[in-house]
Amino acid sequence: MRIHRIYCKSVSETNSVFKIDQTQSLHLTKVLRLTVNDEVEVFDGHGSSAICKILESNRSSVSLQRISDIKIDKPATNRIGFILPFIKKENFHFMIQKLCEIGATEFIFYKPDLIDQSIAKKDLSKIYSKSEEVIISACKQCGTNFLPITSFVSSLSDATKKLDQSTTYVFDVEANDNFDVSLVESNNIFVITGAESGFSESEINHMYEKDFSFKLLSKNILRAETAPLVIASLFQN
């Protein structure tokens, strides 16, 4: 039987006994229905994990004791990050969940110029906050011990300021150059995709000024949440 996984940064700290937060405690007791002396695998989001035993359990607080050595995974040698727009909330969270499962290492979320009207007046910080829960849940499910790095900026131009020396690809339905993953030589990639209505003229001009590589992913027009998943799968395969 596969052991259940939960997230807690404290698992890799010096003290072998620690408490998990209320969200994880409720998940462990109410959803997984685990109790005292049951064992769980705990990961810290930075590559470390260990087997722990439940010492104490109540409605809002659970104490764990680390009973195994700490396992430390090496970070992936291939890094793939995404600059992603806020899109319809359900599609946004679905996209993030699947990208975590495929192996995305970083997310920079931006408010697109052509934002969908269903979220135009929403508090994007709340959608972003919920995305952190989605990411943790996805990493628990897929077995990775690394949480992707995440950040939230107010525009695409602000997002591009956060890029390092990675090779950056812009995927746009108006691009002329078909994407061929076999020609990619870098192991440090960043991908930029647009919202449901694509990029604005201002966003396009900004990225041309940055001399990013514009690519066409498919002759078919893919949904805003589908394109990043296809791209991630191509890179990881």
Tens of pLDDT, residue by residue over 223-234, are 999 999 999 999
pLDDT the model gives residue 237? 72
Read off the pTM.
0.92
With cut-offs at 50, 70 and 90, classify the pLDDT of residue 222. Answer: confident
Tens of pLDDT, residue by residue over 137-168, are 999 999 999 999 999 999 999 999 999 888 99
- HEC profile of the chain: CCCCEEECHHHHCCCCEEEECHHHHHHHHHHCCCCCCCEEEEECCECEEEEEEEEEECCCCEEEEECCCCEECCCCCCEEEEEEECCCHHHHHHHHHHHHHHCCCEEEEECCCCCCCCCCCCCHHHHHHHHHHHHHHHHHHHCCCECCEEEEECCHHHHHCCCCCCEEEEECCCCCCECCHHHCCCCEEEEECCECCECCHHHHHHHHHCCCEEEECCCCCCCCCHHHHHHHHHHHC
Comparing 65-79, 114-128, 210-224, the range with the smallest average pLDDT is 210-224
With cut-offs at 50, 70 and 90, classify the pLDDT of residue 1. Answer: low
Domains of the chain: 5-72 (2.40.240.20), 79-236 (3.40.1280.10)
Tens of pLDDT, residue by residue over 62-96, are 999 999 999 999 998 889 999 999 999 999 999 99
